[in-house]
Amino acid sequence: MNISTYCNLDFTPKKIDNIWQLTNSPDIVTDGSGDKYIGYEHIGESYSGNRRYIIEESGRLTAKEIAELTGNGVFLDLACGDGCLTVPCAALGTKIIAGDISNSMLKILQEKAKNNDISLENVMLCRMNALDTSLKNECIDTAAANSVLHLISNPEKVVGEIYRVLKTGGSFICVDDAPGKNNENQFDNSLYNEIVSRFYSEYWTELNKFGITPQKYSWKFDRHAYCIKIFGSFEIKKITRGNVYKVSLKDGFIPRFVSRGFSDQVNVPQDMHQKTIDILLDRFAGIYGENFADIAYTGIEDDILITVYKK
């Protein structure tokens, strides 16, 4: 894929670690009067922890839908992160522009592909700002911006950017979880839930004493209402799942929280974070026992809802 076919640039971009550097925007913007966003450069490996090279079943199932919708065209995976959609789509031979503001996430994406023997020859990796992608008008057949709109203060602008780059007849593909069989989850997760909610709330109570609060931007953005206004029509497809899975605190929540891997922790200074975590780990070992991190959540996989908005 040739960069000049897809991008409008008044400079020749550099390529670092196979990643076209299409923007000079910072990794994170959390103050000032302009648009704000939380890039994951500092989160990197903590995002998926020791599952970062695994291609999840949900990613494979969604990739199949994306590949069918894209055909011989080009799929834009905007804010692609560590490649949970790009990598399984690449395995199906789909042509992809994979853009993210974080080079470290784009590096993990490449490692994930390598670990799974998947070629990225049809993938153009770009350090790109979702608020201003540098892509030409109407050069994209399908696009996704999964799990990112809530991290940006102006999600409407990102949807507008997707609309601009999509060809007429192109698809904006949105992926959501739907409880399905998990609605009637019959497992007792009360202890796990209690620990997670107590850890979260006691962490922020400690930090609130110093005036530090969780950073959230557009968690209440009504994507569907906005997309119906912008795109004329849409279709929804449900993929049913329902296998039982188990994840312990030590394999999921704790390492991610301890590495400051949740986006709302972005403004917590590292020294205060570490001090608070040390206090909480001690306190929780006292209350729930030394091995409290072995406690696991048992769940039933959610169904996947794929909403396709048509330009």
Ligand X SMILES: C[S@@+](CC[C@H](N)C(=O)[O-])C[C@H]1O[C@@H](n2cnc3c(N)ncnc32)[C@H](O)[C@@H]1O
Residues that bind ligand X (CB under 6 A): 37-40, 79-81, 84, 100-102, 105, 128-131, 146-148, 151-152
Give the separation between CA 189 and CA 299, rounded to whole angstroms.
9
The DSSP annotation for 72-112 comes to TSEEEEET-TTTTTHHHHHHTT-EEEEEES-HHHHHHHHHH
| 3-state SS assignment for residue 310 | strand
Q: To the nearest whole angstrom, how small is the minimum distance from the Cβ of residue 161 to ligand X? A: 10
Shortest separation between residue 111's beta carbon and ligand X, angstroms: 14
Q: Which is nearer to ligand X, 46 or 189 (CB)?
A: 46
**Closest residue to ligand X, Cβ-based?**
81
Nearer to ligand X, 157 or 198 (CB): 157
Of the pair 80, 139, the CB lying nearest ligand X is at 80
CB of 121 to ligand X, least distance (A): 21
Judged by beta carbon, residue 131 or residue 195, the one nearer ligand X is 131
For residue 105, the minimal CB distance to ligand X (Å) is 4
CB-nearer residue toward ligand X: 152 or 280: 152
CA angle 31, 165, 19 (to 5 degrees): 65
The region that residue 69 occupies, defined by phi over 0 for left and psi between -120 and 50 for alpha, beta otherwise, is alpha
User: Which stretches does DSSP call E strand in the chain?
Assistant: 14-16, 19-21, 28-29, 37-38, 74-78, 95-100, 123-127, 140-144, 166-178, 233-239, 244-248, 296-300, 303-310
Least distance (Å) from ligand X to the CB of residue 252?
15
